Structure 1
């Protein structure tokens, strides 16, 4: 049985950029570009009309920008995975995108292979969590501020779930966590889902932030790497 086709909406104010992304994405079996939008307002309309699985969202656009469009799409109760694409490697964009509900963040100078990989990762319901981005998230949430009292939601986690959260915060993938704890990968995936549910978090990105904010993990622990599964 073949895998379902990933339906993608492209949002960028530059025609040439959208055309380039379309060529790259449609060269890959199993990915279909179902629509395009040149601004954030139209992106919301297209998301409602087309119900894409993934939205590739530019940040800087006239009128409604990509960050506000992401917020509006989430507020409307729509659930596509949103991959923010930008030429600007700036922390304010990164954190604003995560807070708005984006599932991933990728620079436009990434290779075509990275774009295809990113679309597949976020379409699978996971966050795109690269090691360099993870380090910047950690530095941001731990820099120059007192650590608050641990969130009481941590008490809801079992001992095993807390252990999985610590490893997840180090950037380990489900497969790596499974090997570390001598568990099946499906079991780890179940643990991650339960952790997100109990903590009220959207995805792994927000789980990492939560873990460092609440002292579950500390900067400098070994093992931080890319995690997208």
Structure 2
């Protein structure tokens, strides 16, 4: 029996996935949490085979939660299930230790296939995302976005800023000093050739790193 933890800040999304998995023989939902921090705590206190992780959530988000869970348990099998499929996120997520990457637009059967694949020790990346990643290796100039130049930590802080989180909040959640967060922030601005958070948000929207729903949710959380 494959046990699965659902991590998403939208209750309807978790309910939908739970209903799908409840009908699948050999898979059971072991738990549900609504943020990255609780996912980390849950995985430290409970045994689970596969974590279905959302990327954009209040708090540390899915990327940092993945990094923390894998650091605590290198054998963790995490599938990022997200609306974000643009470079460089898939590659950064896999580098952080995830075992799979799926779009939330994937068919239920593909999600089930992904769960079974990572449980058996394989990696699973949706075919369209895998093709995009492969093309980025062959034709990097065509596949790159402005965000491709960011480090994994810079990308994480970028996602948190565009969700409306302040430097002090980010520093607390990532266990970094405000000075260190600001250093990453200004280095990121320099790389992207922008001057502030508003420009960063506009750039993220333009390149598919942030959508209207994420922006509305971030405003609700501020």
Equivalent of residue 61 in structure 1, options 43, 47, 57? 57
Equivalent of residue 31 in structure 1, options 17, 27, 46? 27
Query: In structure 1, what is the Cα distance between the partners aligned to 2:51 and 2:25?
Result: 18
Structure 2 length as normaliser, TM-score? Answer: 0.60
Shift of 1:90: 1.6
Question: CA, structure 1 residues 58+128, in 2 after alignment: closer, same or farther (shift >3 Å)?
Answer: same
8 Å CA contact 1:39–1:63 kept in 2: the answer is yes
8 Å CA contact 1:8–1:32 kept in 2: the answer is yes
- 2:114 corresponds to: 118
Q: Does 1:75 align with 2:71?
A: yes
- Where does the alignment leave 5 or more consecutive residues of structure 2 unmatched? 142-222
Shift of 1:140: 2.6
| Greater helix share, structure number | 2
8 Å CA contact 2:102–2:125 kept in 1: the answer is no
Look up the SS of the partner of 1:91 in the other structure.
Answer: coil
- 2:38 corresponds to: 42
- 1:96 corresponds to: 92
Shift of 1:65: 0.5
- RMSD over aligned Cα atoms: 1.6
Structure 1 length as normaliser, TM-score? Answer: 0.58
Equivalent of residue 136 in structure 2, options 124, 140, 148? 140
8 Å CA contact 1:7–1:34 kept in 2: the answer is yes
Shift of 1:97: 0.9
Query: In structure 2, what is the Cα distance between the partners aligned to 1:81 and 1:100?
Result: 12
Shift of 1:130: 4.1
Query: In structure 2, what is the Cα distance between the partners aligned to 1:115 and 1:52?
Result: 17
Larger Rg: 1
Shift of 1:143: 4.1
Query: In structure 2, what is the Cα distance between the partners aligned to 1:87 and 1:15?
Result: 16
